[in-house]
């Protein structure tokens, strides 16, 4: 029998200064929150980025007090491990349906049943379906930032912003999104869409945003695990980001729940190159963003002066 996953979630000192008085600098303390909203770029990212945190909340009974909602932003894909760059109707429909089924099975396992969470597919297109080509990330996906955006990425970014804005208006919500380690283009789009939505809303943005380290991208390139959070901290006032972590204990087979579920359910995405990063992933790092600083965030370093769609505070 698998050991119960043990989570030790502790707030560390604020990355940019002394401890904040804001109650939700501690991601473990979800008292007063009613909604847990996860923005998952693809069908496996909720599990791979936040599986340990969610397992801990479930095991400690905290998920019983909130409405958990998974938002899979990219609903259509032709990408699987046996990647052939084929965009036929059959390929897209077959892979998209399989990924949907795999994710539901995996999340039902993680949460303890289909009735423990809500599941939405927002229907945006995966990078290969948009014809995007970029450098290869440590996890195998196409990389990119604003400097690589074409009109297709601008459209997806703007669409994602409008989807995300309503999620940020409730002060009783926690909104989780990958930090985009490795700059997978789709993860970058969703992370920056959350930031832009929060900035645009200003004082109307009341939800607490939590960034998580993407896997297997972080584990495959551990030397770069702080690159994205360090870059975000530079865009914000001091005391804006608090660092938390959750430690995952392996079972008697040497597996965390995240690894076990990935190997069992995510067959189209099963890649031996993912196994070592996931086997080594026994800690999830979470970054809690202070809502009072949403309207003070500066533009991304790769947002050019002519790219008005991504411009934020100066």
Whether 299 has a pLDDT exceeding 50, the answer reads: yes
Q: In what order do the strands lie in the sheet with 283-289?
A: 10-14, 241-247, 283-289, 208-212, 173-178, 35-40, 67-76, 118-125
Measured CA to CA, the distance from residue 310 to residue 158 in angstroms comes to 9
Asked whether 41 and 79 are in contact (CB, 8 A), the reply is no
Asked whether 44 and 104 are in contact (CB, 8 A), the reply is no
Asked whether 78 and 86 are in contact (CB, 8 A), the reply is yes
Mean pLDDT of 138-159: 93
How much is the pLDDT for 314?
64
The residue whose two tokens read 């202070």 is 290
The number of angstroms, rounded, from the C-alpha of 175 to the middle of its chain's C-alpha atoms is 10
Q: Which of 167, 253, 256 is nearest to 219 (CA)?
A: 256
pLDDT (tens digit per residue) in 201-213:
999 999 999 999 9
DSSP assignment, residue 313?
Answer: B
Whether 232 has a pLDDT exceeding 50, the answer reads: yes
Residues 6+ apart with CB under 8 A from 47: 103, 106, 107, 110, 258, 261, 262, 266
pLDDT (tens digit per residue) in 59-74:
999 999 999 999 999 9
- DSSP, collapsed to helix, strand or coil, labels residue 95 as helix
Measured CA to CA, the distance from residue 22 to residue 130 in angstroms comes to 40
How much is the pLDDT for 39?
98
Q: What is the pTM of this model?
A: 0.92
Whether 11 has a pLDDT exceeding 50, the answer reads: no
């Amino acid at each position: 029998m698998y050991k119960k996953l043990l989570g030790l979630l502790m707030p560390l000192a604020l990355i940019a200064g002394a401890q904040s008085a804001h109650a939700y600098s501690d991601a473990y303390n979800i008292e007063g929150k009613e909604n847990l909203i996860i923005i998952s770029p693809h069908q496996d990212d909720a599990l791979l980025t936040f599986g340990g945190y969610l397992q801990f909340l479930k095991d400690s009974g905290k998920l019983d007090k909130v409405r958990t909602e998974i938002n899979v932003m990219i609903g259509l894909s032709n990408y699987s491990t046996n990647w052939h760059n084929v965009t036929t109707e059959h390929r897209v429909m077959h892979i998209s349906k399989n990924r949907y089924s795999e994710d539901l099975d995996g999340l039902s396992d993680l949460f303890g049943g289909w009735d423990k969470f809500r599941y939405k597919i927002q229907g945006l297109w995966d990078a290969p379906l948009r014809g995007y080509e970029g450098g290869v990330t440590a996890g195998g996906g196409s990389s990119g930032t604003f400097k690589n955006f074409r009109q297709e990425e601008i459209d997806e970014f703007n669409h994602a912003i409008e989807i995300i804005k309503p999620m940020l208006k409730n002060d009783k919500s926690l909104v989780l999104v990958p930090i985009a380690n490795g700059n997978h283009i789709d993860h970058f789009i969703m992370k920056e869409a959350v930031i832009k939505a929060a900035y645009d809303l200003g004082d109307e943005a009341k939800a607490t945003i939590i960034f998580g380290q993407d896997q297997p991208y972080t584990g495959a390139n551990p030397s770069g695990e702080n690159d994205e959070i360090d870059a975000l901290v530079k865009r914000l006032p001091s005391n804006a980001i608090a660092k938390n972590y959750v430690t995952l204990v392996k079972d008697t087979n040497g597996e965390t729940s995240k690894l076990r579920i990935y190997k069992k359910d995510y067959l189209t995405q099963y890649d031996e190159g993912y196994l070592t990063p996931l086997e080594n992933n026994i800690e999830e790092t979470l970054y809690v963003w202070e809502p009072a600083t949403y309207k003070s965030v500066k533009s991304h370093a790769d947002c050019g002066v002519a790219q008005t769609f991504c411009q934020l505070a100066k």
